[in-house]
Amino acid sequence: MGGARLRSKRLGEKLRQIRDALGLSQTEMLRRLGFEDDIWYTQISSYELGRREPPLIIVLKYARVAGVSTDVLIDDEMDLPEKLPKRTRR
């Protein structure tokens, strides 16, 4: 029952791909996700580098911004779609 929880090895990489596809800085990404007052841009860096695991709400917001299911972000065997949203109006 207890035991170690499995972690996605590619989640951070996918979060970075989404931000890059949108052409946003880490600070701009926070704004886009609606968390500019709640977390620091350095946390985005920690998530992208795999140093910290993002809370579920962050994963959900990234998925919505990218137009993908959370499964795609969390499942290491699934890739992001070839076409992600491009730079959009802020």
Reported as a single tens digit per residue, the pLDDT across 28-86 is 999 999 988 888 888 999 999 999 999 999 999 999 999 999 999 999 999 998 887 66
pTM: 0.84
List of domains in the chain: 11-74 (1.10.260.40)
Q: Give the gyration radius of the chain's Cα atoms.
A: 13
Question: CB burial class (10 A; 0-12, 13-18, 19+) of residue 74?
Answer: middle
